[in-house]
Amino acid sequence: MAGLRVMVFDRTCTGRKTPVGLSHAWRLGALLYGGLRRLDAWLGAADWPQALRWLADTGSGPIDQIQYWGHGHFGQVRLGDDRLDLASFDPDHVWASDLRRISARLHAHSLVWFRTCETFGSAKGHAFARAAADTFGCRVAGHTHRIGSVQSGLHCLAPGQTPRWSTGEGIVTHRDGRASALGSRVWYANTITCLHGTIPPDRG
């Protein structure tokens, strides 16, 4: 029996200066993916505790795929005011119980896909990807660039693997020493669009 394909998005990004925010686009994307039968269920969440409890409890049986749509930064995934980062995977973290319950529903061929800006970028992104794969016990996917309708720097990592992409991929260093992520372009390597619902075979 096929497992569930689920998605969580950040519902707090509603736009302070404009009537429409990214949460509206993510909600429309969820409806589109649902209509195309790429998703079985989705949730607009306000924080990580709400999202993790829903992922642990929604439906029944195994989960084949989890996607998260929201904001990110090097080595972290943001939801509202919360950050899922390397420390979140510590066995003593307050979210550890829910993460274990989610992991118990995943299997070796499952996928957890962070469709967020730059989460897999830099050395922090490498550490995050390794910890996430080992915690969930399945492949994880994420991006090294800033993403939007075009999404560059897509990479996958399985438990126990070492990241094969450079810690400098998708990063520009400014004269003051500050590093930031490059935007996505259709001609960059490892690029998909928001209309891709699966990981291309060459990305693992």
Report the number of distinct structural domains present in the chain: 1
- pLDDT for residue 154: 97
Q: Where are the alpha helices (DSSP H) in the chain?
A: 22-35, 48-57, 96-105, 122-136
Low-confidence stretches of the chain (pLDDT < 70) are 1, 15-20, 202-204
- Asked whether the beta carbons of 67 and 7 are under 8 A apart, the reply is yes
CA-angle at 175, arms to 172 and 177, nearest 5°: 70
- Give the residue among 10, 1, 32, 55 at the shortest CA–CA distance from 195: 32
pTM of full prediction above 0.85: yes
User: What's the pLDDT score for residue 203?
Assistant: 65
Q: What's the pLDDT score for residue 200? A: 84
- How would you label 93-117 residue by residue, b for 16+ Cβ within 10 Å and e otherwise? eebeebbeebbebbeeebbbbbbbb
- Which pLDDT does position 66 carry in this prediction? 98
**Domain ranges, residue 70:** 4-178+185-203
The predicted structure's pLDDT at residue 20: 61
Strand, helix or coil for residue 145: coil
Structure tokens at 115: 């469709």
CATH of the domain at 30: 3.40.50
